[in-house]
Structure 1
């Protein structure tokens, strides 16, 4: 058993400081390398257990691995920073509708700075929420803190790969692409076009229905774009509904 060079008390091979006098201990290069390697492997094991908690929908396993000051940036809504209570509530709520969850890790690296560790990796995961399949590839940064009971996750940041970005393959086969989402602005324009068509149709048949559709879509467009298009559609919808009601009253 090695001894402290100052007070002569026995110290552990993995101790950084003497527990008796506080003297900083100098390890041999071989021992230092072994400790760092085992610590990095331990961090990876914590991350895997954390993800297995999601896979198995095990709330207790997840709670046991996160710090009370845990926070998270997710790659699913809400995208704002979530503190521990909100993050766990959202995650455990998803457990109720999550099925067939699988994941793969790639490019895992852990750096240890005393009692703090930073792990970075790529994750590809898939499954189903309310029986609707999903498939996502993200970059993840996980910050851990060493406590008396072991390493705990303090913060996680999940960030999906941008559409069309080059990704490292998860396996030897080609990596799956992250899901594509049509731009919100294009969807809003489509709603506006449907609204104008509904307004015109409302001049001739069922003005109460088609006019109302135009007004609702106009309000939606106005809210999303904060521009004149939605406001114009609301006015057109109201006018077409009034004219349509008057016109159809004499038919």
Structure 2
């Protein structure tokens, strides 16, 4: 009987100590939970905004290689423009080169800018007032834009672009 009681006490103590150590190890290795929907990721929003600003500066400066460097070209890259069928990396590069070749200047405003970050993916939406100068003429293009960024190798790059015409009344400017 004494042997059974002693064995029970030793086993209970062992289970108690082992259980505490296991809980302690779990607490040490647990990272704070991230809520992809509710968390805003403000530091990452700032990073994406900086890339977006740099992208438009590269257009204004007519720096094609800089502009292309903001894209993550692969089989996963997609683009929709003005109701036309979906295109990919090859077509986007061609379109970006044509833009830079055809403009003499570029001005823009991004209204209703929204940057939603889901950890390493960001969706940027806006109502754009693009004003490229082609020859001697400034063309005003109103577009709804969606750009999807992915953080790849610690750098934010575009993996999807979508631009559609937006109806804007003259008195709303």
Report the Cα distance in structure 2 between the residues aligned to 1:80 and 1:50, rounded to whole angstroms.
24
Q: Secondary structure at the match of 1:82?
A: coil
Q: 1:62 aligns with which of 51, 67, 79?
A: 67
1:156 matches 2:161 = yes
What's the RMSD between the two structures over aligned residues?
3.0
CA pair 119-98 structure 1, distance change in 2 beyond 3 A: same
Asked if 1:53 is matched to 2:53, the reply is: no
The structural deviation recorded for 1:60 is 1.7
8 Å Cα contact 2:108-2:131 kept in structure 1: yes
Matched, 1:25 2:13: no
Residue 81 of structure 2 corresponds to which residue in structure 1?
74
- Structure of higher CA gyration radius: 1
Bigger proportion of residues as strand: 2
Q: Per chain length, whose mean CA-contact separation is higher, i.e. which structure has more relative contact order (CA < 8 Å, sep 6+)?
A: 2
Q: Which deviations, in whole Å up to 9, do the C-alpha atoms of 1:2-34 show, x marking residues without a partner?
A: xxx6485xxxxxxxxxxxxxx551169xxx96x
Contact 2:41 2:119 survives alignment (8 Å)? no
**Aligned partner of 1:38 among 37, 43, 63:** 43
TM-aligned CA distance change 1:161 to 1:25, over 3 Å = same
Of 95, 102, 110, the residue aligned with 1:105 is: 110
Q: What is the TM-score normalised by the length of structure 2? A: 0.71
Deviations 1:97-137 (A, max 9, x none): 20121011121111112221111111111122233320012
Among 80, 95, 100, which residue is 1:95 paired with? 100
Gap change, CA 1:24 and 1:109, over 3 Å in 2: farther
Shift, 1:41, TM fit: 1.6
Structure 1 residues 66-118: Cα deviation after superposition (integer angstroms, max 9, x where no partner): 0013322224xx93322111111122122122012101112111111222111
Which runs of 5 or more residues in structure 1 are unaligned?
9-22, 176-251
3-state SS in 2 of match to 1:96: helix
TM-score normalised by L of structure 1: 0.51
